[in-house]
Structure formats: structure tokens, C-alpha cells
Structure 1
């Protein structure tokens, strides 16, 4: 093992300097980013997960907590590491559970509150019941994946994200969908009591999309060991056509829901979701290209086809 190296510690908090932060820290060739955060947090008397570390040149956050500090060229060249207080943190699991719980509770609550929301509410139609079941099951699946499938490279995110993410899901896929879908004047309410062709087509797309999306998430989870931060190149059904088939299948499922709900509010949510997922897919493609020369570069992030370059 090489001799320890002394690294200067500089505070760059967006609010105020971190008190009792040491001026220097010694690292070895076995010291990880998490090791530095733990030691600085202990000395400064602050939760280490609140500390964000970055290099002095590009000011890029060191997101891989298990990466070796000695392998970050910018840090070793300047013998300096930048530290800032990221504010109160919450686990990714906590944030996801809360944001997905909202739509589940909101849609189910309309079974009881419809008479107080609409005049002449009347009973729900077959399409409305089916819409509710599809939306609730979609978010229950997400809760299951959060607890038992997903493996997060980052331990925490800012507590503020709970409110930001929840606003998106609770309003757009919760209140927005529920109010229009379960209205007694909606097209869905006026549909026949039996399953029509649009309902059946929507249900087929929904089941395929949800199962294929789950399969893609399982493939992605197997690229990382429990508690690990390593990256891998995903392969399998869908991954040869686009960067993020999990997003593609998500859109297939929501297309199925849109056919059943027959509501512009579902289309609005789908477009907003697509816009966000397209940004994530572009970042994922950039990360995968930087990961290995053996990666089969994709032209498309979500929608298969030769017409869209990443």
C-alpha cells in the first residue's frame, strides 16, 4: 500500500460554511468516497450523507460512494477536495414510497368521496372501475419494485425531493386523473357496462407493458450487487433496440390506460412522463457510452426507429 496522501478540504456550502470541518484529510489508495464522507462527518458532527464531495477543477459531484478517491485525477492533481452541505437527506426508498402512495390513496378515495365532489354522481361504469384498477395496480407495482427490485447507487437524496416528486405524482397522476376519469359526465362514465373493444385493447397493452417493464427492471437490478454502486451494460428483451426499454414499456402501459380512460388528462400525464423519461434516457445513453467501448450505441432512448439520434 502506498504512503498516505494529505488532501486539502475546502468548504463550499450554498448556505454557510460547515463548522468544525477539518482543513486536511489523509487518504490511502484504499480510501473510498464514502470513507471520506464518514470521517469528515464524524469530525464535523454532521450526518455524512449530507456531505457532497466534488473535485476542485470541474466541481463535479462524486456520486459513486464506493469509488476510490485516489483514482479521481482532478482531486489528486490539485490535492484538494470540495465539500458542501447538501441539506437534510432522505433515502431513495422513502421518497419513492411516499410519492407512489399518493395516487393509490387518491384514486381509491374517490370510491367514497364522489358524491361530495360531483352532483348526481351515480355508480361508476365498467370503464371507470377498470381505469381505477389499472392505475392503482400500476403504482402498487412501483411500490413493490421500490422495496424488492430496485438497487440504488446513491444512498439518499434531498428531503425537498419528497415534496417536488410528490407534487408531480400526487397532482398529475393522482388528482388530475381521478377528477376527470371518475366524473359522471366523462366519456368513460357514459360507456356501456360491458367491456368494449377499446377496453380490451387497452387492457392487453397495459398487461404487456407492465410485465415487460418489470422484466426490464429485474434485468437492471441484476447488474448491481446489493448495496453496490457498480454499473453494467444491460442486455436482453428491448435493450438491443433502445437505451431504456423500461421507459418504452412504461409508455405502452400508459397508452393502454389512456385507451380505457378515454381522457385527455391521461394523455397529459403521459406526455409529461415521456418528456421527463426522454431526458433521463439521454443521460443514461451518455453514461453507458462512457462506461465501455463494447457498448452497442443506441440511436433511440425510448421510441425504436432510425429517425431519432441520441
Structure 2
């Protein structure tokens, strides 16, 4: 048996009483063993709230990590635990944030008189955009339930507020309020006699949007196939979209929203797209660096993070 001393680096649900905590574990113990031992001592300190690190280091030890691999053959090990606060599952966060636009857009689309003070005869463009938005977020919800496999089970509960604000306000209220208003209606000078009312233009836009959405789905399925259910295992993705960038899903989503911007000329759509693309770029760059660090020389050198040949 090996003796493990655990110190608390922040206030825990039970206060600091009981720490440092000393437990005896087998040489093959994992980080999950330690987490469960803490829960046994402090039932309110759930495993998902615990950030376990080697004393003096910052890297979180995932559940499967064998302590002997990071602490060596010592007879006494020292670890630290930090309380991450109340948690909520990633799947729940995704479901809540994506459902916002699915509720908000129909409210603006079907009840224009309430928002604009008069009825709106929807143009073909507005009908296309409404269909695009609804299909996009229905797809997102279905992917959350049936496709995505998450590296971490939970995230801080406040993220559900932060993430939902982005989707509910920008792709929800802001976009809906702008594109379903009278300016884009069937009788508006902005639409009548312009390319925005041209059937061929609308069909081309719909084709590009559908291509981007289906390509985005394909990349999600490719990544899913790399990770067995219940595993944190990561592999190098190859195939459609991955020959040029590490995260083609972000690239294809950018194309989908940019298509809506071009078709409508909507300020609301443009604001949401700029913010969304900037956020995806931040995620892509960070994850791209992690890929290169994790896989080293095995990782394809010619790949960019998100936009082919550029970023």
C-alpha cells in the first residue's frame, strides 16, 4: 500500500476541516480512487467538483490516470484537490443553449404583429432563413444526444448561463428580430425586384448552406468514430475535411452562417457570425496546439487550425 496525503487549495463544500487528508491506496490506484476516497469522507464533495493535481503542479489528473505513472515509486504521495464548484453536464448545457433559438425564432416568425406592430407577409428569403435556423439547431440538438462524446462529464454550472446568453440573445433574439422584420418582407423595396427575391439565387444559397451543414455533420461523425463509448481516448482524425485543417467542423459552420449573411445582408446575422467565428477560432487554435503537443511528430504538419491555408 502507498500513503497519499491530499491537501485542499480552496475552500471545499465542507470547509477546510478534514484536510490534509491521508489515505492508503494500492500501487495501481488511479485518480478516480482518490476522488472516491474524498467523497467517502465528504459526501457533498462530488467527484465532478474535484480537480486533482500533483502537489505544486496545475495539470488535472483525469480519472483513468494511474498515480504511479505521475508520482513514481515513492512510498508516500502528495496530491492537491481544488473545488471546481457546482457542476452541470456538458450534454445538458448544449441542450439548453441550442433550444433557445428553436423557441425564439418561431415567436418572431409567427407573431410579427406583437414585435413590429403590424403583420408581415414573409418573403421567400425569410422563409429560407427560418428553415435554415430551425434545421441547424434541430441538428445540433440531435448531435448532442446521439453523436457527441465528451472528454469531460461536466462543466461549471455558470457556463449554462454564459453559453445560453450567446445563443439565446445573438443567434436567437438579435437574428430573429432583424431578419423577420418588415424590411425583409415580401412587399419591401429591399426585397422586391432584387437578387434577394431571385429564385436561382435562393436555391444556390440553400445548396451552399446544405453542403456546409452536411459536411459539418460528417466531421462530427468522423471524430465520434475515434472515441469508443465511455472512453477519453483521442486519436488523429483523417479523411474528408481533415486534410487541410484540424477542425473542419468550425470551418463548415462558418460557411453556413456566412451564407445566411450574404443572402440577407442582415446586420444581426453579421454580428452573430463575427462573434461566433471569433469564438470558434479561439477554440480551434487552442485545441490545435493540444493536438500537436499530444501527438508530436505523428500529427500532420501541413494542417491549419480552422481555415485552410490561413488560420
Helix, strand or coil: the match of 2:79? strand
1:198 aligns with 2:201: yes
Q: Is the 8 A contact 1:205 1:255 kept in 2?
A: no
Moved more, 18-27 or 173-182: 18-27
Give the aligned partner of residue 144 of structure 1: 142
Give the aligned partner of residue 23 of structure 1: 21
Give the aligned partner of residue 254 of structure 1: 257
Q: CA deviation at 1:105?
A: 0.5
Q: CA separation in 2, counterparts of 1:108 and 1:61?
A: 43
1:102-140 CA-to-partner distances (Å, cap 9, x unmatched) read 011000112333111102332211111110110111011
- Give the RMSD, CA atoms, in angstroms: 2.4
* Alpha carbons of structure 1 residues 187 and 80: separation in structure 2 relative to 1, 3 Å: farther
Helix, strand or coil: the match of 2:7? strand
Moved more, 194-203 or 205-214: 194-203
1:103 aligns with 2:107: no
Q: CA separation in 2, counterparts of 1:226 and 1:199?
A: 41
Q: CA deviation at 1:196?
A: 3.4
Helix, strand or coil: the match of 1:10? strand
Moved more, 194-203 or 236-245: 194-203
User: Any residues of structure 2 matched to 1:149-188 within 5 Å, and which?
Assistant: 149-186=147-184
- In the alignment, structure 1 segments of 5+ residues that lack a partner are none
Q: CA deviation at 1:201?
A: 2.5
Q: Is the 8 A contact 2:285 2:306 kept in 1?
A: no
Aligned equivalent of 2:9, options 9, 12, 20: 12
Give the aligned partner of residue 68 of structure 1: 66
Give the aligned partner of residue 79 of structure 1: 77
1:124 aligns with 2:114: no
Helix, strand or coil: the match of 1:185? helix
1:147-172 CA-to-partner distances (Å, cap 9, x unmatched) read 00000011111111110100010001
Helix, strand or coil: the match of 2:140? helix
1:264-306 CA-to-partner distances (Å, cap 9, x unmatched) read 211111111111111111111111112223111245211111x
Q: CA separation in 2, counterparts of 1:286 and 1:8?
A: 33
Q: Is the 8 A contact 1:96 1:143 kept in 2?
A: yes
User: Any residues of structure 2 matched to 1:234-273 within 5 Å, and which?
Assistant: 234-273=237-276
Moved more, 14-23 or 215-224: 14-23
* Alpha carbons of structure 1 residues 76 and 221: separation in structure 2 relative to 1, 3 Å: farther
Q: Is the 8 A contact 1:8 1:24 kept in 2?
A: yes
1:191-221 CA-to-partner distances (Å, cap 9, x unmatched) read 2495534322321111011100000000111
